[in-house]
Amino acid sequence: MNSSAEYDLIIIGAGPIGLACGIEAKKTGLRYLIIEKGCLVNSLYHYPLNMTFFSTSDRLEIGGVPFISHGTKPNRAEALEYYRRVCLSWDLNVRLYEKVISLESSSGIHSVKTSEGLYNGYAVILALGFYDLPYLLHVEGEHLPKVKHYYDEPHPYFGQNIVVVGASNSAVDVALETFRKGASITMVIREPAISETVKYWVKPDIENRIKEGSIKAYFNSELIRIGEKTVEIKTPGETVVLPNDFVLAMTGYQPPFEFMEQCGIKFRDDEFHTPVYNVDTMESNVSNLYLAGVMCGGLKTNKWFIENSRVHATQIIKALITKMPPGGQRH
């Protein structure tokens, strides 16, 4: 192995899949490092406080550590506790609150520059989430403090006039929860109806609230201006001005395409801007640069979840150890 490489493997991202990759690396005896710009499982930490997972706890397990939850499906707090326990159980080599600035590849070595220093590795796994890059509305007033692209809990919105932008699961959950905690809700939706992908047990609830008038909805509509105390909505046949205290823009999030491009990753010519990678090894078009988790789906952010991308860790490590040069693997 090139003597300038301090690590066999550098993993960028300490979400569940990044941790799973670290566990597999440790099991195999690789010299590895996990780097995370925020806290442990940063994306999960930024989920709504009362969020409950779609999946049962066993499908979120990694590293053979049992995940026991009080209910059939675990909540955010239980997941944070679980992944802390996983990190401690495996004594993973994680550097938190260290932002990756750049990744450059030369002479078989990947150099990762961070806010704290420079690390060299034979291979790199990008296990980045997409929760940090919301789709923006690109309208006047979006910079105002009352506009939120993230939602935590309903209490601050009691007694307030709220506009919820979007028609998928996040938007529907926010609309229903804030409505039931005393907010006046108006939904602004580009599409002609609530999304068909909304959870089957929730979709009738939001549709009935709209039908009875408890929640107002403007379909085939969009925000065109956000003021300090009002919003303007372009809806078929007219422009509507409504009193408004907060805008909750649940418009979804996107992968870090710009960073991926800077790393040399290429993308397929498809509607989802899917990155190029080998489905068996998860290796991208850049040698020894691997992709894991949700970012593999490009704009199709509902394709990969913890439960179906845990296997990426074993796929990558299995492929990597067959390529390691002599002396590159520590036992």
- Domains defined along the chain, listed by start: 7-133+253-321 (3.50.50.60), 147-249 (3.50.50.60)
Confidence check: pLDDT of 324 > 90:
no
pLDDT at position 108: 85
Does 116 have pLDDT greater than 90? Answer: yes
Give yes or no for residue 288 having a pLDDT over 50: yes
d(CA 294, CA 130): 8
CB-based contact 321:276 (threshold 8 Å): no
Q: Is the pLDDT at 4 greater than 70, yes or no?
A: no
What's the pLDDT at 1? 36
What pLDDT was estimated at residue 326? 67
Kindly report the length of the chain: 331
Q: Which has the higher per-residue pLDDT, 83 or 130?
A: 83
Q: Mean of the pLDDT values across residues 156-184?
A: 96
CA angle, corner 269, sides to 268 and 270, nearest 5?
95
Other Cβ atoms closer than 10 A to 60: 22
Residue 69 scores a pLDDT above 80: yes
Q: Does the pLDDT value for residue 148 go beyond 90?
A: yes
Q: pLDDT confidence of 331, banded at 50, 70, 90? A: very low
Asked if pLDDT for residue 3 goes beyond 50, the answer is no
* Axis crossing angle, helix 311-321 with helix 16-28, rounded to the nearest 10: 40
pLDDT at 328 over 70: no
**In this structure, is the dihedral angle defined by the CA atoms of residues 139, 142, 144 and 146, taken in order, positive or negative?**
positive
pLDDT of residue 254: 81
pLDDT of residue 50 exceeding 90: no
Q: Could you tell me the two tokens for 48?
A: 């709504």
Residue 5 confidence (pLDDT):
61
Beta carbons of 313 and 17 less than 8 angstroms apart: yes
pLDDT at residue 240 in the model = 97
Classify the C-alpha dihedral 106-107-109-111 as positive or negative: negative
In this predicted model, which residue has the larger pLDDT, 54 or 216? 216
Q: Average pLDDT of the chain?
A: 92
Give the Cα-Cα-Cα angle 199, 175, 181 (nearest 5 degrees): 120
pLDDT tops 80 at residue 231: yes
Q: Which residue has the higher pLDDT, 290 or 331?
A: 290
Contacts of 238 (CB under 8 A, 6+ apart): none
Residues 6+ positions from 178 with CB-CB distance below 8 Å: 154, 157, 162, 164, 185, 248
